[in-house]
Structure 1
Amino acid sequence: MKLLSKKVTCNSHGQDSSYFLGWQEYEKNPYDEVRNPRGIIQMGLAENQLCFDLLESWLAQNPDAVELKKNGESIFKELALFQDYHGLRAFKNALVEFMSEIRGNKVKFDSDNLVLTAGATSANETLMFCLADPGDAFLLPTPYYPGFDRDLKWRTGVEIVPIQCKSSNGFRITGSALEEAYQEAGRRNLKVKGVLVTNPSNPLGITLSLLELNLLVNFIAAKGIHLINDEIYSGLVFKSPGFMSIMEVLMNKKYMNTQVWNQIHIVYSLSKDLGIPGFRVGAIYSNNEMVVSAATKMSSFGLVSSQTQYLLSAMLSDKVFTKNYVSENRKRLKHRQQMLIRGLRNAGIGCLESNAGLFCWVDMRHLLSSNTFEAEMEIWKKIIYEVGLNISPGSSCHCAEPGWFRVCFANMSEETLNLAMQRIKIFAKSISNTIINGRDSNQYSNKNLRRKSLANWVFGLSFHDHKYER
């Protein structure tokens, strides 16, 4: 151990979070309709698999892009040789145009202010390196994406101070919560360098309101700090209220060429909107020349491959395709979200009203044996091991209130989602009966027998025996 670095031996990665532990359990026993029908269904993965048919259709119709050709002539050698870390101009131009398109063309982006990165994970970490020193702090509204503990802190040494948002106002950001987080950082002798928000929110599935966006801009202007807007779900807003980019807010407030203009940065990725996380395409957009320059140099540690850039530049430049894709993707997401909400409602479970993203913020507080995070973990373990669903407990998202869970709906087939809803309905009914009848201690004489009985009941389901209740 003495021969290794402190980074290797520290425990700041966050891998022991229940968010990652749920993934590990799923990987040990993944559900498959034929090979493993009693396995765990993955509902902890915010992945968009709803429009692969559109992507594959485009690929079939555009063989030159796939085969690395231009006008029928191979450009393999050109792409295979060294590319500098500024990226292909054609791809950067296509990407900023796509970013404008999914924002309703209300704002325009300059490709010279865009830095390509290997996914949003790399983009967020790069911004931490650019904006903060080890021991400095960023404020994040809760609940937030569990991976931020890894992305923002692990290698940078930056600290996260939570902005505590509450269910009483739909987990909206307030001025008092912002100020309290700022003061808490001061009590911990941490220098606050900025605020990071995800809009639309992961895990809440909601867009930030104009009130919240103006509040954030005014706050960072008053404090003289940065604001990072992670907008990787910006193309996944499928019902009103619509999405408003922070760039639109700045332009409406006529902040161009002011100091605040240089304090605000956007993170974007094609992982969610196009559903291609394996391609590792992310980006930083900033009007701060020094940040763009430094981030561009740092991007050499996580470049997007030339063949990926070439393929996607052709795809995103096809305006007929992108317009149809964005529209159809939103329709399918809305339908799938409604399926999840309907299934949860049939199980007596509600969720936060949402309008975006790949997940719902699900309220299971009424199923807890007590209003504690220990009771939340107890429910979570039952759902994984007995019900066979991997969902993310609110505590892994740093939610201040026990009993909330993030449940994803776009990374599986409709048939699998139907089955998951049948499983959760049986589970919720069994828990509710236990609570109502007060039989938790004596319903079965043996805890393992109780677990086995519920599991057998749940896994007695099959696609052929049960239809989704509409």
Structure 2
Amino acid sequence: MSLRKAGQDSHGQDSSYFLGWQEYEKNPYHPIQNPMGIIQMGLAENQLSFDLLKLWLRRNPDIVGLKKNGASLFRELALFQDYHGLPALKNELVEFMEKTRGSEMKFAPEKLVLTAGATPANEILVFCLADPGEAFILPTPYYPGFNRDLKWRTGVEIVPMQCSSSNGFRITSSALEQAYQQAQKMNLNVKGVLVTNPSNPLGITMTRSELNHLVDFAIHKNIHIVSDEIYSGTVFASPKFVSITGVLKERNSDNNIWNRIHIVYSLSKDLGIPGFRVGMIYSNNERVVSAATKMSSFGLVSSQTQYLVANLLMDKKFTSKYMEETQRRLKRRKEMLVCGLRNAGIQCLKSNAGLFCWVDMRHLLTSATFEAEKELWIKILYHVGLNISPGSSFHCCEPGWFRLCFANMSEDTLKVAMQRMKAFTHSTTFLLKAS
């Protein structure tokens, strides 16, 4: 890597989102060994159904031991290196995607490209669709890692599309148009819009109306849509998840727009296995699939992981029960967080998906500025001992919003976090009133 690339800050590692993690790692909370440590609420990990996965692994020792009908597959898997991926896994993945989307769409395995997680999937798509100096529009607030995933190596720019709390941070036609005009003023050629549905950090699913605005916009401007649907299986309350493909099917859209719609997906959030690095691109565009498949050779999913995950997904009875139970647990855990925050005098954006809540702490700011947001974040990190993520790290245009994760810790740890937050807000509110 050139020194120029190594020195660039477009990677985003200096964002408060990542700095909070570093502080947590220096002083992690443990109920017995370090009860005064920092509680990690900045990590969107789904650990709520690990017991079910462990049970499945115990019941399937042959698969874990890389065997089929008692015979070892070790040699076959150790030598297999075709970058098209194991057909069995691709077949299972498209079926799993169909089920998550209410079976409203049929997906074809030949249109799927395997990648080592959603991170390379997003980067590969940007490499395929845009040249250095061209741009993608992203609705704010958006995942801080996108600066790294979409810009760092590709040289492609991100144009933020400002969404506000006045309409619950929903996407509008006028906001899309405004972002497009902004890009033109900066002499940037817009190649597409990238959305995360369900949203990270908002924890909400996009409405049919928003998706239709998006499709209309893409048709009008002749650009692409990348729909990152990594949280599609975490929807735990109504309305149900609607994929961009479902909206296109309803509209009976022609091939021209179908060829410009691309889905990114992964098993990291829905199945809670981010360390397995199983991601994918799904596209109707043959040229994109062909180029992305070649590029995927720089980040392949290991053969033994492909074999294990294919067999896990083949067990339809297990995956159905797992998804149902996970969604039930996510809903309960989210309600615990919302209730704990309410007791501390803090409201959240109403949400129905994801592993986090978008939390309104504007009333705790000393002034309506990002400097005041940073001050509050530092206080909560160092004095309260909670690593939460400030809205500015998600490129939110309004100071005072924070993302709090709830699925990466035990119930007891979440209770401790809420007790700390309550004690903090009560003392802060008292001081704000006194001043």
Output the TM-score relative to the length of structure 2: 0.99
Tell me the alpha carbon deviations over residues 400-457 of structure 1, each in whole angstroms, 9 at most, x when there is no partner. 000000000000000000000000001111110001111xxxxxxxxxxxxxxxxxxx
SS across alignment from 1:197:
strand
Which consecutive residues of structure 1, in runs of 5 or more, have no partner in the other structure? 439-470
2:386 maps to which residue?
389
Alignment of 1:229-244 (within 5 A): 229-244=227-242
SS across alignment from 1:204:
coil
Query: Does 1:296 pair with 2:301?
Result: no
Alignment of 1:450-469 (within 5 A): none
d(CA) in 2 for partners of 1:210 and 1:91?
A: 30
Superposed displacement of residue 315, structure 1: 0.5
Match among 408, 414, 419 for residue 417 of structure 1:
414
Match among 165, 168, 171 for residue 167 of structure 1:
165
2:21 maps to which residue?
23
d(CA) in 2 for partners of 1:81 and 1:365?
A: 56
Tell me the alpha carbon deviations over residues 357-400 of structure 1, each in whole angstroms, 9 at most, x when there is no partner. 00000000000000000000000000000000000000000000
d(CA) in 2 for partners of 1:114 and 1:5?
A: 35
d(CA) in 1 for partners of 2:252 and 2:384?
A: 53
d(CA) in 2 for partners of 1:290 and 1:430?
A: 59
Alignment of 1:13-412 (within 5 A): 13-256=11-254, 258-412=255-409
Superposed displacement of residue 162, structure 1: 0.6
Corresponding residue pairs, total: 435
Q: Which moved more, 1:56-65 or 1:165-174?
A: 56-65
SS across alignment from 2:18:
helix
Larger Rg: 1
d(CA) in 1 for partners of 2:303 and 2:253?
A: 35
SS across alignment from 1:259:
helix
d(CA) in 2 for partners of 1:305 and 1:142?
A: 34
Tell me the alpha carbon deviations over residues 449-468 of structure 1, each in whole angstroms, 9 at most, x when there is no partner. xxxxxxxxxxxxxxxxxxxx
Tell me the alpha carbon deviations over residues 78-102 of structure 1, each in whole angstroms, 9 at most, x when there is no partner. 0000321000000000111111111
Superposed displacement of residue 9, structure 1: 2.1
**Corresponding letter in the other structure for 1:153:** K
**Corresponding letter in the other structure for 1:281:** V
d(CA) in 2 for partners of 1:50 and 1:83?
A: 33
Q: Which runs of 4+ in 1 moved over 3 A?
A: none
Check 1:146–1:224 CA distance in 2 against 1; reply closer, same or farther (3 A cut): same
Q: Percent identity at matched positions?
A: 71
d(CA) in 1 for partners of 2:8 and 2:193?
A: 25
d(CA) in 2 for partners of 1:413 and 1:102?
A: 26
Superposed displacement of residue 8, structure 1: 1.6
Q: Which moved more, 1:368-377 or 1:94-103?
A: 94-103
Superposed displacement of residue 4, structure 1: 4.2
d(CA) in 1 for partners of 2:265 and 2:136?
A: 19
2:425 maps to which residue?
428
SS across alignment from 1:375:
helix
d(CA) in 2 for partners of 1:174 and 1:102?
A: 26
Output the TM-score relative to the length of structure 1: 0.92
Superposed displacement of residue 337, structure 1: 0.2
